[in-house]
Amino acid sequence: MESDWPTAMGRIVARSRELIGSRGPESIAFYTSGQLFLEEYYTLAVLARAGIGAPHLDGNTRLCTATAAEALKESFGSDGQPGSYEDIDLADAIALFGHNIAETQAVQWMRILDRLDGPEQPRLLCVDPRLTPVARRATVHLAPRLGTNVALLNALLHEVIRRGWTDPGFIARHTVGFEALRRQVAPCTARWAAGICDLPAAAIEEATELIGSADRLLSTVLQGFYQANQATAAAVQVNNLHLIRGMLGRPGAGVLQMNGQPTAENSRECGADGDLPGFRNWQNEEHVADLARVWNVEPSAITHDGPPTHAMEIFRLAEEGTVRMLWISATNPAVSLPELSRIRSVLTQEALFTIVQDLFLTETAQFADVVLPTATWGEKTGTFTNADRTVHLSERAVDPPGEARPDLDIFLGYAARMGFEDKDGGPLVHWNGPEEAFEAWKRCSAGRPCDYTGLSYEKLRGPSGLQWPCTERAPDRTDRLYVDGVDWAHPDLCETYGKDLVTGEPLGEEWYRAVNPDGKALIRAAPYVPPKERPDEERLTTGRTLYHFHTRTKTGRAPELVEAAPEVWVEIAAADAARLGLAEGDLVEVTTRCGSLQGRLRTGTVRPGVLFVPFHYGYWDTPGGNAPTSGTPGRAANELIATLWDPVSKQPQLKTAAAALTLVERVGGPDTGPRPNVRGAVSPSKRSGR
Ligand SMILES: Nc1nc2c(c(=O)[nH]1)N[C@H]1C(S)=C(S)[C@@H](COP(=O)(O)OP(=O)(O)OC[C@H]3O[C@@H](n4cnc5c(=O)[nH]c(N)nc54)[C@H](O)[C@@H]3O)O[C@H]1N2
Ligand SMILES: Nc1nc2c(c(=O)[nH]1)N[C@H]1C(S)=C(S)[C@@H](COP(=O)(O)OP(=O)(O)OC[C@H]3O[C@@H](n4cnc5c(=O)[nH]c(N)nc54)[C@H](O)[C@@H]3O)O[C@H]1N2
Ligand SMILES: [Mo]
């Protein structure tokens, strides 16, 4: 039923008051995004954390960059990207760990291509079980068994140490924990890893040579690590490679624990993910008191008796009935979360009041009690900060259509109608409009790693893109963090006291002060722990194509992109196809213990034993289609993925499931239309050959 803004907001406010009164603030949860503006996240964080006092606020960044953040915290004491995109232009070796940059960050890939085809060519290492376009250009391509990243990294660390490619001066000056790492990786020879990862030992040695002999090594890490087995432990080992080689804080030498979404970084720094704003440590009373001063509230108004709730836990609390109102903004969990049949049953519960704030009537919106139509970038003003800390101002170019409103206006309107107050009875959310919100955030960021105090809208209208920290002391920008040691790992300053890399158990302040009294970088060792599935089953992984963005709310409306990749497909190795008697183009069904999907087969692009399915395709083509009923196959990859997460970062393991593959219909059935014309996809000659 259509409504108007006052009525819709009236219902949300009434339900919020009723729930806070009867069940307390813990009955309300917010699930937001990596695609809003800084000003929107910050406003949401303030109203949720201090207004409602709910610990239940997280973003889809949990599915995306939770491991990036956690790996940085574990190694450097705090979130904050060490490297700079400029390092792509300057490195003499570039290593991509589980990162198909050619399809997922095509602009950065052009930058790498310029280097590969330019005068001083860097060597390229690709660690990916698929023959991606990156793999095709790589000097060394390692295609490990799914989920064995830690085994491979431990072998690389072993070999680097054995061959004397470490930087003892850097290790002594700037790190703690090297001895424990040396002990941990002592048995992890290239031959040992070769068996586990199913790789030639010689290829692992070649990769070590590439990394070990580089003068300026740039590494990037993304979802092939973050969404796989031992996510944080694996990402941390990449940091370790840089720490033991002294590859940090110099032009060309750096780590990019990457982000995928345009504003995942802002979500993290503003505390709209499961963290406190400004990378503050929820276990440090001084940090909480400092935040309370900024917000002019009592420290007790900011719930901090346990870690902020992570998204997977929010959905569990909704499932068991503790959370009764779930406000979803700029994300489409009915397609992007694991185990979709479960998510549908959570969202359809009568007792759960669901708000969906989106541009489109998504799969998730079909479950909403209230849908709030929003403006998007280009129709609203705000700032966004990319993975290397570069802050941009994005100004409204056109008016939003119809009654759509900027997300900021929606959050401000809610805060005003709820009447949230500070401790002196003034409005808690005391700003109007994006620029004032930005100014409020600057105060919150002051003195923190992500210090914005030297920035302003005015300044951002000058040269586009300035990297934080930007302060009085560094008024222009800061290219690289950790140019001279690690600044934020001191026990009084750090964002976390660390977690056990296998169990995720917090290690505690006492432990942290004992091992890292002076605040150096932490070299954190971890043993390889095999994934849970039996090794003899087919292993499913999921990911992206160049032609679609996520759940296709935008790209699914662009005819050219729909034509380039109209339907879900299934990739397997040519050898497996032959073994199973399957051919390119056959309609197959993939089944796991969670569900099933059908798609056409493509062969020859993944390592043996692996199935790959793109995760973009929701369960309808056009809004209004139906969710798959139980027993019927779907087409969303997340019908297949179980609810499992990394114990350290709580990022779901979206890249792993044991699966069975069966034939539904031989080639000759209706074709799925034209194929993407990229290197790395199936070649046209193969298509015409059948
Ligand atoms: N075109 C396009 N671009 C995008 C997006 C999009 O949807 N479409 N999304 C954006 C977002 S939010 C993100 S997070 C990024 C993601 O960007 P990427 O991380 O580059 O993308 P994915 O395809 O999810 O995963 C990367 C690779 O991980 C590999 N992989 C799978 N399992 C394993 C494993 O066990 N070990 C290793 N080493 N590798 C493995 C897969 O084969 C895949 O090629 O892309 C961003 N850019
Ligand atoms: N199996 C599997 N699952 C995955 C992944 C995988 O690799 N494999 N990758 C995971 C990753 S890394 C990510 S990031 C997630 C992405 O998962 P989602 O966040 O669910 O994906 P999107 O389709 O980008 O959803 C964003 C929604 O926000 C809306 N939107 C866009 N701009 C605005 C705005 O300005 N305001 C508002 N209110 N709405 C807006 C869009 O219309 C869209 O509905 O998926 C995760 N799920
Ligand atoms: Mo992402």
Where in the sequence is the domain holding 404, given as residue range(s)?
25-65+263-330+374-437
* Side chain identity, residue 626: N
Residues 277 and 183 in one domain: no
Q: How many CB atoms lie within 10 A of CB 345?
A: 11
Round to whole Å and give the CA distance between 55 and 70. 19
Give the domain-ending residue among 405, 437, 469. 437
**Is the distance from the beta carbon of residue 63 to the nearest atom of ligand 2 less than 6 Å?**
yes
Instruction: Check which CATH number belongs to the domain holding 100 and give it.
Output: 3.40.228.10
Ligand 1 pocket, Cβ-based, cut-off 6 angstroms: 64, 98-100, 103-105, 127-130, 132, 144, 146-147, 149, 222-224, 228, 260-261, 541, 543-544, 546, 548-550, 655
In a domain, 53, yes or no: yes
Last-in-domain residue among 238, 258, 278:
258
User: Ligand 2: which of 103, 363, 545, 550 to mutate, most ligand atoms within 8 Å of CB?
Assistant: 550
Whether 107 and 230 share a structural domain = yes
Looking at the fold, whether 37 and 121 belong to one and the same domain comes out as no
- Domain count for the chain, please give it: 3
Residues 546 and 649 in one domain: yes
* Same-domain check for residues 216 and 279: no
Q: Measure Cα distances from 255 to 95, 495, 561 in Å.
A: 10, 19, 32
SS3 354: strand
Q: Give the residue ranges of the chain where pLDDT is below 70.
A: 533-536, 620-627, 629-631, 669-690
Separation of alpha carbons 498 and 6, rounded Å: 46
* CA distance linking residue 597 with residue 479, whole number of Å: 46
Domain of residue 563, CATH code:
2.40.40.20
The CB-based long-range contact list for 366-369 (8 Å cut-off, 24+ gap) reads 366/334, 366/627, 367/334, 368/328, 369/11
Chain segment 662-683, per-residue pLDDT in tens: 999 998 754 454 444 333 332 2
Flag whether 340 is in a domain.
no
Q: Separation of 227 CA from ligand 1 center, angstroms? A: 9
- Alpha carbon dihedral 280, 281, 287, 292, in 10-degree steps, equals 70
Beta strand 123-127 pairing with 93-97: parallel
Whether 365 is in a domain gets the answer no
Say yes or no: CB of residue 32 within 6 Å of ligand 2: no
Confidence at residue 187, expressed as pLDDT on a 0 to 100 scale? 98
Task: Note the pLDDT of residue 677.
Answer: 36
What pTM was computed for the model? 0.95
pLDDT per residue as tens digits for the range 27-58:
999 999 999 999 999 999 999 999 999 899 99
Is residue 674 in some structural domain?
A: no
Site of tokens 């709209």: 272
Q: Give distance in angstroms: CA of 88 to centre of ligand 2.
A: 27
Residue 472 CB partners (closer than 8 Å, separation 6+): 453, 454
Do residues 428 and 309 both lie within one domain?
yes
332 in helix, strand or coil? coil
CATH number, domain at 293? 3.40.50.740
- Quick one: 33 and 123 in the same domain? no
Q: 480 in a domain, yes or no?
A: no
Q: How far apart are CA 230 and CA 235, in angstroms?
A: 9
Residues 123 and 223 in one domain: yes
Q: Is residue 447 part of a domain?
A: no
Q: Which ligand is closest to the CA of 338, given by its number?
A: 2
Same domain (yes/no): 280, 417 = yes
Q: Tally the residues of the chain.
A: 690
| Centre of ligand 1 from the C-alpha of residue 613, in Å | 12
Q: Do 208 and 271 reside in the same domain of the chain?
A: no
Q: At what angle do helices 201-212 and 190-197 cross, to 10 degrees?
A: 120
On whether residue 391 sits in a domain, the answer given is yes
> Coil, helix or strand for 358?
strand
Q: Are residues 243 and 292 in the same domain?
A: no
Q: Quick one: pLDDT at residue 687?
A: 24
Residues 285 and 415 both lie in one domain = yes
274 falls within a domain = yes
C-beta of residue 372 within 8 angstroms of C-beta of residue 357: yes
Residue located via tokens 């850097």: 170
Q: How far apart are CA 291 and CA 306, in angstroms?
A: 16
